[in-house]
Structure 1
Amino acid sequence: MPRRLAQALALLSTGLLAGAFTYALFSIVPTFKAVPLDVHLQFRTALMHMNGIVMQALMAISLLTCSWLAITLRAPTRWYAVGAGLLALTSLLVTRLGNVPINGRIKTWSASSLPPDHAELLHRWELYHNIRTAAAVAAFVLLIVLVDKTRTIATQMNT
């Protein structure tokens, strides 16, 4: 029972994380580029305020549930959960060390007085976002593979 709960919570949290980052990649980031810069900055600042705690908490929950799942499993499936946990950690670290500092700088900008390196910082933010999105999606995929492998192993043991 603890393994099934850990598996369900790991799948749920990594799936939500991957989905949120992927949605941002294909919908929110292009919207930033489609609107005037003053609207972009206002929207981005409001989004940071709303998302800051939620997304970082979701990354931490993904890391914790993947770790819990790894504890409940035996080799070789354990390594899929460990890998998913490391990828969730990657998303968290890239966010904390890459995106968050840039977000802090963006909050101080106004469209009328942008720093000279604003375009490069926005590009770097996108690069970090792409990395954390890829890590979150890969974590989710590893957990899907893990579920398939554990079912296959269970079926083989029952036959």
Structure 2
Amino acid sequence: MPIRLVKSLALLTTGALAGAFGYGAANLVPTFDAVPLEMRLSFHARLMEMNGITMQGAMALSALSAAALAVMTRGTTRWLAGGAGLLVLASFLITRLGNVPINGRIKEWAVTSAPVDHAEILDRWELFNLFRTGTAFAAFVLLILLVLRRPGAEHEANRPA
């Protein structure tokens, strides 16, 4: 029974993470590009303040639940869960090392002015956003495959391998 709960939590949290990143990539980023720069900077800075807690929480729950599932299982299930956890970790690292520093600059620009090379920096933010969205979706796909596997295909004992 605990494995089913952890499996469900991993699938739920990773699906929510992929959905949130997917929504941003499909809807927010094109909207950012369609409005005046000042509006984008102001909205982007405020949005990232709100996302700071929720998205990091979603990434933490996704990574921890996938890691717990990998520890609790063995064989292919362990590999799928571990892979999903690593992909979520990649989303986190891309966010912390790529997007977050640029978010800090955007926050400054919102109250001052954007530098001459702002378009290149915003393009880099969008590239990081695509990468983290891709890794989150890949993690979700691995967990879907894990859940859809034929029951009994591999014994999932609640014991160490």
The equivalent residue for 2:33 is 33
Following the alignment from structure 2 to structure 1, what is the Cα–Cα distance between the partners of residues 26 and 72?
35
Moved over 6 A (4+): none
Per-residue CA deviation, residues 52-82 of structure 1 (Å, 9 max, x unaligned), is 1110111111100000111111102110000
The equivalent residue for 1:99 is 99
Shift of 1:110: 3.7
Following the alignment from structure 1 to structure 2, what is the Cα–Cα distance between the partners of residues 54 and 108?
22
Q: Over aligned residues, Cα RMSD in angstroms? A: 1.4
Equivalent residues, number:
154
Following the alignment from structure 1 to structure 2, what is the Cα–Cα distance between the partners of residues 10 and 112?
42
Following the alignment from structure 2 to structure 1, what is the Cα–Cα distance between the partners of residues 66 and 139?
9
**Paired residue secondary structure (1:114):** coil
The equivalent residue for 1:62 is 62
Within the alignment, does 1:53 sit opposite 2:49 as a pair? Answer: no
Aligned CA distance change for structure 1 residues 152 and 144 (closer, same or farther; 3 Å): farther
The equivalent residue for 1:148 is 148
The equivalent residue for 2:80 is 80
The one-letter code sitting in structure 2 at the alignment partner of 1:76 is T
Unmatched tracts of structure 2, length 5 or more: 155-161
**Paired residue secondary structure (2:74):** coil
Following the alignment from structure 1 to structure 2, what is the Cα–Cα distance between the partners of residues 92 and 150?
31
Following the alignment from structure 2 to structure 1, what is the Cα–Cα distance between the partners of residues 120 and 15?
31
Following the alignment from structure 2 to structure 1, what is the Cα–Cα distance between the partners of residues 39 and 18?
26
Shift of 1:111: 8.0
The one-letter code sitting in structure 2 at the alignment partner of 1:123 is D
Unmatched tracts of structure 1, length 5 or more: 155-159
| Contact 2:45/2:110 (<8 A) preserved | no
The one-letter code sitting in structure 2 at the alignment partner of 1:146 is L
| Contact 1:91/1:131 (<8 A) preserved | yes
Identity %: 58
Shift of 1:151: 2.5
**Paired residue secondary structure (1:113):** coil
The equivalent residue for 2:158 is none
